[in-house]
Amino acid sequence: MAKYETMLITSATLDEEATAALVGKFKTLIEKNGTIENVDEWGKRKLAYPINDEVEGIYTIITFTSAPEFPAELDRVYGITDGVLRSIIIAKEEAEAK
């Protein structure tokens, strides 16, 4: 098992229920394939540049542990889901004990 962090930017044009359902879909997918450690919802923020003519997005960061093969599948699902503007998944290195 490895630790990962994913940042997901969803469309600000979605209402609160649709946004919660979309993020919930990804939480469920991650829970089926690993363990969620933390979910940090940043809310609506201005984008650095317009994406698909949108200037705001809703940011969510999820820290999780899973098998090394799962992030590729999660990234694939992000790419085919309507309402997802941008996403990134990074592997987190464990801090060495001193």
Predicted pLDDT of residue 98 = 45
Reported pTM: 0.89
Q: Other CB atoms closer than 10 Å to residue 89's CB: what's the count?
A: 17
Q: What share of the chain has pLDDT > 70, as a percent?
A: 95
**Six-digit token pair at 46?**
């201005």
Categorize the per-residue pLDDT at 96 as very low, low, confident or very high, splitting at 50, 70 and 90. very low
pLDDT in tens, 30-70: 999 999 999 999 999 999 999 999 999 999 999 999 999 99
Per-residue pLDDT at 93: 77
pLDDT of residue 63: 97
Provide the 10 A C-beta neighbour count for residue 33.
Answer: 16
How long a stretch of residues is the chain?
98
Looking at the chain, the whole-number percentage of residues with pLDDT higher than 90 is: 92
* Domains of the chain and any CATH numbers: 2-92 (3.30.70.60)
Query: Residue 68 class from Cβ within 10 Å (0-12 exposed, 13-18 middle, 19+ buried)?
Result: exposed
Q: Is a pLDDT exceeding 70 seen at residue 15? A: yes
Q: What one-letter code names the amino acid at 23?
A: V
- Name, in order, each residue with C-beta under 8 angstroms of 74's C-beta and a sequence gap of 6 or more: 6, 26, 29, 30, 33, 89
